[in-house]
Amino acid sequence: MKRLVVVRIRGEVNVRTIINDTLDMLKLYHIGHCTLIDDRDAYKGMLQKSKDYVTFGEISPEVLKKLVMKWGRLPGDKRLDEEYVKQKTGLSVDEFIDSVLRFEHELSELGIKDFFRLHPPRGGYKDTKRGFGQGGSLGYRGEEINALLERMI
């Protein structure tokens, strides 16, 4: 199994109800929201249904660490720090991120919200109505998702 990161690119206007419900189940409420999932069949079906509104791919440990440390929020909109991670899990941040990618731990153990609110990417999206393979921004992009997330962090 692999960890996938999903980012919502398109908005809510004229979205069919069934697709909007799927995006809500993925915790992608607004443009720029991002969430971490695994690649089981249930999620693959949800991604297939919402592929015209999101982009997704495999996340690297470095980008996941930046994402969690900068945009991970505790209730009350408080930021995470290394001391908090050490206190909650007994692991350093790097060890914890590696264990999350190996499915030994979950981000929910930190008590953070299960989605991240990101900035729009520096340099903008390419085309928000075409798939990644056609020169656009939507759908599966594999390891290239890390370059997009770097521009959004």
Complete domains list, the chain, with CATH: 3-60+116-143 (3.30.1390.20), 61-110 (no CATH)
Over the stretch 98-134, which tens digit does the pLDDT of each residue have?
999 999 999 989 999 889 999 999 999 999 999 999 9
Residues (pLDDT < 50) of the chain are none
Dihedral sign of CA atoms 131, 133, 136, 138 in order: positive
Is the Cβ–Cβ distance between 80 and 67 less than 8 Å?
Answer: no
pTM attached to this predicted model: 0.92
Residue 40 identity (one-letter amino acid) = R
